[in-house]
Structure 1
Amino acid sequence: MFYSLGKYILLLRLSFKKPEKFSVYWSEVMREMVSIGIGSLGIISIISVFIGAVATIQTAFQLVSDFIPKTVVGGITRDSTILEFSPTISALVLAGRVGSSIASEIGTMRVTEQIDALEIMGVNAPGYLISPKIIAGVTMVPLLVIVSVVLGLTGGYIAVFASSDVSTADYLTGLSDGFNPVIVTVCGIKAIVYGFVITSICAYQGFYTEGGSLEVGQSATRGVVYSCVMILFMDLIISRMLL
């Protein structure tokens, strides 16, 4: 365990050494941003709308007492969406889509000796292959989470608009009542940490792949599983520290 942690830290240190040619690295960062951000926008949008709608419906169903104001539905949906649903569920989805792609891409380059060729040419392979992915991850995942929050709350509005349990006016009032800005800070910190976790762990699994195509698939699977476990662990740690 400690040996693997040492290799992981060493790989991160090598990844963020001074680049040989900044323009090449910059183009890689832009390419990874498009791949992670634009490529994941569709699935994140669909999931967010439905999660927001379901969360609103379930909250309204549980608040059956006439003594509880209906505006509470909007407040609970807002807080749960910003604090938990949008950052964590989006990160778990991205671990499957983005993480597996990163691990399999780098793993394939390892087993086909493309990484060895880069090192022979004097290129810092971890820096060229991994750092653009990490930079793109910590940049684009927070942006995707922002989109997820907006669409989740929109999904909640659609749910109350289509039902008679809560009026749209009560829902919108609940979104603004009792708003605590700290939940936005927690959401942003979670998104940045999750982006780093997904890209770095999956890149590590791919970089140290040994064998052939079967091992590439196993590395991608391990990367996704370890990323999901670490996302949930960091969710607990961040929530405990900041809330």
Structure 2
Amino acid sequence: MGRPLLGFINYLGELAELTRQIIESLLLGKQRWRLMIDQLVEIGFRSQPVVIITGAFVGAVLAAQGLFQLSGLKMESMGGALVSVGMLRELGPTLTGIMLAGRVGASMSAEIGTMKVTEQIDALRSMSVHPIDYLVTPRLIAMIVSVPLLITEAAAFGIAASWVVGTQTFGVSEAWWSLHTREHTDLADIYIALIKGSVFGVLIVLISCHQGLKASHGAVGVGQGTTRAMVFSSLAILIFNFFLTMLMNIFFPIGLAG
């Protein structure tokens, strides 16, 4: 049992060292704005379809399942509040983060890992280009900018889809649905979604870029690193989500009193 524990501690140390290098790059390194814009397009713009579809159908199925349960209590009009709070506080940030881990995190790891095993990173160093400045920092900045916008889209489309399901499929009054949604959704829910999303975005970049920078043994190593990046990022999101939920609900309690 000691070997896995030591390996895990070593892994955390490597992530901490990478974090230090990124902070140093942000403060002292050369900012490559063109690369950052390219990453904004890749991470933010091109991730919109999968995030929107995910958010819409999660909101729809959450509304349907919630209404099946609430109908027995004659509280169908509360379905909008249920979906709104759930999408903003939990499902929106978490599912968006997991989708980005699969789509963007795996791509980051594969791209950087391929550069590592083909010695392109060594070539960057020979040209006095710091790999962190060139490969990691632009991705981190782009992720921090993109994730809040993507979470907003996912939550908005999820809430809109739940409105369609609730009012058009289950026949709930549009006025009561909208009223309860507005009453039980406040700025605290939005703050939680944005804070969680930012944390998840940083985790994805750290874990994925680390796997790419540590890739070895050719194509096999790149494939293994890509798989680890996606799995580790998803697990980190789920684990951190629990602790962030416990912490955020202390500072931003659910305003069910209206």
TM-score range, shorter chain: over 0.9
Indicate which of 30, 33, 44 corresponds to 2:40. Answer: 33
Q: Which residue identity is paired with 1:58? A: Q
Indicate which of 179, 188, 191 corresponds to 1:185. Answer: 191
| Identical counterparts, % of pairs | 31
What is residue 107 of structure 1 aligned with on the other side? Answer: 113
- Unpaired runs of 5+ residues, structure 1, are none
CA distance in 1, matches of 2:119, 2:178: 57
Structure 1 stretch 175-184 or stretch 147-156: which is displaced more? 175-184
Q: TM-score, normalised by structure 1?
A: 0.94
Q: Compute the displacement of 1:138 (Å).
A: 1.3
What is residue 19 of structure 1 aligned with on the other side? Answer: 29
Q: Does the 8 A contact of 1:71 with 1:171 survive in 2?
A: yes
Deviations 1:158-194 (A, max 9, x none): 2123313423222212211233432221111100001
The reply on whether 1:219 has 2:229 as its aligned counterpart is no
Query: 1:132-211 to 2 correspondence within 5 Å?
Result: 132-211=138-217
- Unpaired runs of 5+ residues, structure 2, are 1-7, 250-258
Indicate which of 3, 28, 33 corresponds to 2:10. Answer: 3
CA distance in 2, matches of 1:108, 1:58: 44
Q: Which residue identity is paired with 1:163? A: T
Q: Does the 8 A contact of 1:15 with 1:128 survive in 2?
A: no
Query: 1:33-72 to 2 correspondence within 5 Å?
Result: 33-65=40-72, 68-72=74-78
Q: Compute the displacement of 1:100 (Å).
A: 0.3
What is residue 253 of structure 2 aligned with on the other side? Answer: none
Deviations 1:201-223 (A, max 9, x none): 10000111011111101100000
Q: TM-score, normalised by structure 2?
A: 0.89
Distance 1:115 1:153, change over 3 A: same
The reply on whether 1:118 has 2:128 as its aligned counterpart is no
Q: Which residue identity is paired with 2:235? A: V
Q: Does the 8 A contact of 1:14 with 1:124 survive in 2?
A: no
Q: Compute the displacement of 1:19 (Å).
A: 2.2
Q: State the aligned residue count.
A: 239
Q: Does the 8 A contact of 1:74 with 1:170 survive in 2?
A: no
CA distance in 1, matches of 2:174, 2:82: 15
CA distance in 1, matches of 2:44, 2:50: 11
Q: Compute the displacement of 1:69 (Å).
A: 3.4
Deviating above 6 A after TM superposition, structure 1's stretches of 4 or more consecutive aligned residues are none
Q: Compute the displacement of 1:127 (Å).
A: 1.8
CA distance in 2, matches of 1:162, 1:73: 13
